[in-house]
A and B are shown apart, each in its own frame.
Chain A
Amino acid sequence: MFSFLSHPEVRQGFRDAAGLPGIALAATMLGFATMSKEAGLSLLMTMLSTAGVWGLPGQVAMVGLFASGSSLVLIFLAVTMANMRMLLMVISASDSMGIKQQQMPAWKHMLLFHFMAATAWLRMGQLKGHLAPHELTRYYIAFTIVIFSFSICGTALGFYIGDIMPSSLLRVMIYITPLYLILLALSGQARSNRLAVIFGGLFVVMLMPFMGQGAIFVAGFAGGGLALALTLRNEAQQAKQRGQNER
């Protein structure tokens, strides 16, 4: 335990998460808990959804449909669609952390990635290359412990004090998550990643009027595919130019 804490990347993870990311997630979960209570879920169920789902869009979809009395099948499908990005984020973050090289047992890998959400994943993307894979893993654990704890506290707090807070303030708190994640994703160094975020965001806005919920998938896949195609073309052009210069 103490040897884990002695690593500088662990302390950096704690410090980084206790700032903007922790506050943003705590505020959002506070807003979510208020929605959940209004919908009729108990404190235990509200806390369980934060701890067990750990992905705001899925949690919001679940509570919204629960409040309207939708069927359980519809709730399952909506959350499945809203949280599909987890699949790609887990693969991408496992690669950044070099899980194969670390020869981590599958159960540990699974446990580690239960706590993977967009905030931590975007941070991993920014630090990839700056920290060695095993250091990045330690950073991720420290970062996640803090944002998860903040979120659980925010959820409990929201359940109790959400009622007495003005709705204008609660709206701001819920607004923080999409805003924070969009800005965080666009503040990264890699141009190709920023392109993918921009294309995904633009395509979903264009497609939503025609496709509803399905727009997320089409926009996500088209945006990511286009960003990769442009990046590959760019790399090919640069390689060609380098070749010409060398001659």
Chain B
Amino acid sequence: MSAEYYGAAAVGLAIIATFVWRFLGVLIYQNVDADSLIMRLINMLAYSLVGAVMMQLMVAPTGLLATSALSHRLAGLLVGLALLAIARNLPIALLGAIGTFGMLSLLF
């Protein structure tokens, strides 16, 4: 398979793989009662999965981010969490975390 077709197939399959989940979500929603315990569970699982996926990207990334030090990524996250807890302001927490990660990456 030529590189061009391989690329198109990879992207096409990635689109289908994601579409399937969204499509199933639309179908399943029609059969779930809004006030049920199942809906609450689904909501909690979604939050938990987002937390898990994002922490995995943070701790064990692939690609360019994998070339940065784990300690720098975690230091940025910890600063962000601390600022969020103290200042209760998302932009400030984000800027502090990005600044910490950026500075550490440049200096070390």
Which residues in A have some Cβ–Cβ distance to B below 8 Å? 20, 24, 31, 34-35, 40-42, 45, 48-49, 52-66, 72, 75-77, 79-80, 82-92, 94-95, 98-100, 106, 109-110, 113-114, 116, 118, 121-122, 125, 167-168, 170-172, 174-187, 192-193, 196-205, 208, 215-217, 219-225, 227-228, 231
Contact = CB atoms under 8 A, between A and B. Distances in A.
Contacts of A125: 47
B51 A196 contact: yes
B25 A113 contact: yes
10 cross-chain pairs, A with B, having the tightest CB-CB distances, nearest first: A90-B25, A200-B51, A200-B48, A224-B45, A220-B49, A224-B48, A223-B48, A88-B46, A197-B51, A52-B15
Contacts of A222: 48
Contacts of A220: 45, 48-49, 51-53
Contacts of A80: 17, 20-21
A71 to B, nearest CB: 10
B25 A201 contact: no
Given A66-B6, A84-B49, A215-B56, A167 B67 contact: yes
Contact of A172 (B7, B30, B98): B98
Given A48-B15, A49-B14, A219 B52 contact: yes
Please report whether the interface of chain B is mostly helix, strand, loop or mixed according to DSSP.
helix
Contacts, number: 300
Please report whether the interface of chain A is mostly helix, strand, loop or mixed according to DSSP.
helix
Contacts of A204: 51-53, 55-56, 59
B22 A92 contact: no
Interface residues of B, number: 73
16 contacts: A34-B64, A49-B15, A52-B19, A60-B62, A63-B63, A75-B13, A79-B18, A83-B21, A87-B28, A106-B26, A171-B68, A179-B77, A182-B58, A196-B51, A203-B52, A215-B52
Interface in B55-104: 55-65, 67-68, 73, 76-77, 80-81, 84, 88, 90-91, 93-94, 97-98, 101-102
B67 to A, nearest CB: 7
A31 B68 CA distance: 14
Contact of B55 (A63, A91, A114, A200): A200
B98 A179 contact: yes
Nearest to B80: A183
A224 B80 contact: no
Given A183-B80, A196-B51, A88 B13 contact: no
A88 to B, nearest CB: 4
Given A31-B64, A196-B51, A87 B21 contact: yes
